[in-house]
């Protein structure tokens, strides 16, 4: 059931007078239609920025290049990074996600032919500050052919015509269930950020159960409504219900026993494929996150390693992880507008030499068995539902102190990587060398890896010795990189962003912030979820985290259930700050 991805189409972009870098639009902000008709109105936008490193002033001018005056105008564009609006002038400025909307103030609403109006605003940011690449006024793309359009970004692709990066130039679905929880718990500032829909048991497909009130088809119907404000639109869904799921983490065990591979195929994957393949959803770009925390367990947590578990040994022996993942890839990959991203753990799991290549080999073997093909894989995702920073800004793996490499520090412990972005890019090269297509892209889940707040370092640590240097430099606030459950001190990470660096397709919020990783004590339930000591604040660790304390928050509910105390901490410690 394999297929070959068609090459990306050449894209036509709106022209405007500022020379800028690439950007993309995420979120659900709509574009307002103006009073001038498409036949009579055309525009050019000039954009410039006075940048001082942590903020900038954006100056914009709109020129009416058409034959009819406007009686009111609304300008829309998007940034690619974490730029945040502070204040604006000569216009009514607002921001939704990365989308900026500016409307006239009344007195400056009329733009005669060949006339120009100006507006501006101050912004803050961290990291890169690429200028926007597309502008629209009253829904008409500036510099284009004068036809109506919902805003910046490339022209829409025909249904089923896969592109290299589905997130590029696309809006992304905001899950209304999560948004309602976030807004009700003081998170209005981020309630419009896109998060993934989780299908973690069969009942989640149809919905109506606790924690999964909205079913897959209803979510997709909601996505069609949100997509009306965008030329291209992404729907993110986590496919997560393997038999014997999460063999090394009891908190997220699933409903299917280790031998129920036929149930997985026939009652989980097939119904999902039937819905995703409905022609009604053919215009959506559907990103599937395939079975987190599965295949890496077959490398790191099986005998004869000290980190092995009987459950992981069983899943290696029966082959059902590989059979299930390959079936999901081939079945979902046969749908023309589906983009499969396979979970690839994180640097604190498979960043060591004895895990790195072996994991890539296993992934390739799995992606080419039981009818699956490497063409069924759009890319891989790292740090799903985890806390490792995307970038450690104050030290790197190449640093040394007094001739001693940071690899020898207690924290790094001979790993080849210190953050998820360097790991993702390095692992991508290894995956391609093993036989995956050179066009694959990587995703990083940044929903809870911000590590801001008062304890965040502001520069490199002391050079007295390598451990002091690393401890003083690292923004990661965990006791050990293997700690994963409801981590104390964590914050929201980079907001969802397309193409932050080459070969990283997106920073994405796959784990919805505020949803628990597991209960801090045993809670009877009918969801198949067990109790894992790593979720108990008093737990003193195991071989998988070098016997460090868990670092988990107390009083946590079952995995996937709303955890208000954690959500409040994520808001307070967000980096970049809210």
Q: Kindly list the catalytic residues.
A: 293, 517
All residues at 6 or more sequence positions from 454 whose CB lies less than 8 Å from its CB, including other chains: none
Distance CA 152, CA 129 (A): 17
DSSP character at residue 342: E
With tokens 């006075």, the residue in question is 50
What are the start-end ranges of the E strands in 213-321?
Answer: 233-239, 285-290
Q: Are the CB atoms for 320 and 259 separated by under 8 Å?
A: yes
What Rg do the C-alpha atoms of the chain give, in angstroms? 24
264: buried, middle or exposed (CB in 10 Å: 19+, 13-18, 0-12)?
Answer: buried
- Where b means 16+ CB within 10 Å and e means fewer, 220-235 reads bebbeebbebbbbbbb
Distance CA 171, CA 27 (A): 5
With tokens 């015509």, the residue in question is 161
CA distances from 380 to 216, 374, 496 (A): 22, 12, 16
Q: Are the CB atoms for 386 and 346 separated by under 8 Å?
A: yes
All residues at 6 or more sequence positions from 74 whose CB lies less than 8 Å from its CB, including other chains: 31, 32, 34, 101, 102, 103, 104, 137, 138, 139
Distance CA 322, CA 324 (A): 5
Q: What's the CA dihedral at 64, 70, 74, 79 to 10 degrees?
A: -10
CB atoms within 10 A of CB 538: 11
- List the one residue out of 403, 383, 368, 356 whose CA is nearest residue 493: 383
Q: Are the CB atoms for 66 and 41 separated by under 8 Å?
A: yes
All residues at 6 or more sequence positions from 430 whose CB lies less than 8 Å from its CB, including other chains: 356, 357, 360
- Where b means 16+ CB within 10 Å and e means fewer, 276-307 reads bbeeebebbbbbbbbbbbbbbbbbbbbeeeeb
CA distances from 563 to 170, 516, 555, 568, 572 (A): 30, 6, 9, 9, 15
> Which tokens sit at 133?
């690449």
CB atoms within 10 A of CB 158: 9
């Amino acid at each position: 059931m394999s297929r070959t991805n068609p090459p990306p189409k050449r894209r036509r972009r709106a022209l405007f007078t500022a020379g800028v870098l690439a950007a993309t639009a995420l979120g659900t902000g709509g574009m307002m239609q103006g009073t001038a008709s498409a036949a009579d109105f055309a525009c050019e936008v000039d954009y410039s920025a006075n940048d001082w490193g942590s903020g900038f002033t954006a100056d914009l001018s709109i020129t009416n290049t058409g034959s009819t005056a406007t009686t009111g105008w609304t300008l829309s564009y998007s940034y690619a990074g974490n730029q945040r609006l502070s204040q604006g002038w000569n216009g009514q400025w607002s921001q939704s996600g990365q989308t900026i909307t500016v409307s006239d103030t009344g007195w400056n609403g009329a733009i005669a032919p060949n006339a120009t109006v100006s507006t501006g605003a101050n912004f803050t940011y961290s990291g890169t500050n690429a200028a926007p690449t597309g502008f629209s006024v009253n829904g008409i793309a500036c510099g284009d052919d004068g036809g109506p359009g919902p805003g910046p970004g490339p022209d829409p692709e025909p249904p089923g015509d896969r592109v290299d990066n589905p997130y590029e130039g696309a809006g992304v679905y905001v899950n209304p269930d999560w948004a309602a929880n976030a807004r009700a718990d003081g998170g209005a500032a981020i309630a419009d950020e896109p998060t993934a829909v989780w299908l973690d048991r069969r009942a989640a497909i149809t919905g109506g159960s606790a924690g999964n009130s909205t079913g897959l088809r209803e979510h997709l119907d909601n996505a069609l409504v949100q997509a009306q404000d965008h030329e291209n639109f992404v729907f993110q869904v986590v496919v997560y219900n393997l038999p014997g799921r999460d063999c090394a983490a009891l908190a997220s065990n699933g409903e299917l026993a280790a031998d129920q591979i036929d149930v997985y195929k026939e009652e989980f994957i097939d119904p999902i494929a039937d819905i995703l393949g409905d022609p009604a959803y053919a215009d959506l770009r559907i990103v599937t996150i395939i079975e987190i925390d599965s295949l890496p367990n077959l490398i790191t947590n099986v005998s004869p390693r000290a980190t092995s578990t009987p459950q992981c040994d069983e899943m290696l022996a029966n082959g059902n992880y590989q059979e299930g993942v390959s079936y999901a890839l081939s079945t979902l990959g046969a749908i023309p507008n589906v983009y499969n991203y396979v979970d690839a753990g994180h640097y604190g799991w498979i960043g060591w030499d004895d895990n790195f290549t072996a994991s890539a080999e296993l992934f390739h073997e799995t992606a080419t068995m039981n009818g699956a093909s490497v063409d069924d894989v759009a890319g891989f995702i790292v740090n799903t539902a985890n806390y490792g920073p995307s970038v450690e800004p104050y030290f790197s793996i190449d640093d040394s102190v007094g001739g001693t490499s940071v690899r020898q520090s207690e924290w790094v412990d001979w790993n080849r990587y210190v953050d998820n972005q360097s790991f993702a890019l390095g692992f991508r090269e290894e995956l391609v060398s093993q036989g995956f297509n050179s066009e694959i892209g990587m995703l990083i889940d940044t929903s809870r890896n911000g590590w801001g707040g008062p304890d965040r370092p502001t520069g490199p640590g002391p050079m007295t010795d390598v451990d002091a240097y690393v401890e003083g430099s690292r923004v990661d606030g965990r006791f050990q990189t293997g700690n994963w459950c409801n981590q104390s001190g964590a914050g929201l990470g980079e907001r969802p962003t397309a193409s932050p660096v080459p070969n990283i397709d997106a920073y994405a919020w796959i784990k919805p912030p505020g949803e628990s990783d597991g209960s801090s004590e045993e809670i009877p339930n009918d969801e198949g979820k067990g109790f894992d000591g790593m979720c108990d604040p008093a737990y003193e660790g195991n071989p998988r985290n070098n016997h460090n304390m868990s670092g988990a928050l107390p009083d946590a509910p079952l995995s996937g259930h709303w955890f208000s105390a954690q959500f409040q901490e994520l808001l307070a410690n967000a980096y970049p700050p809210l």
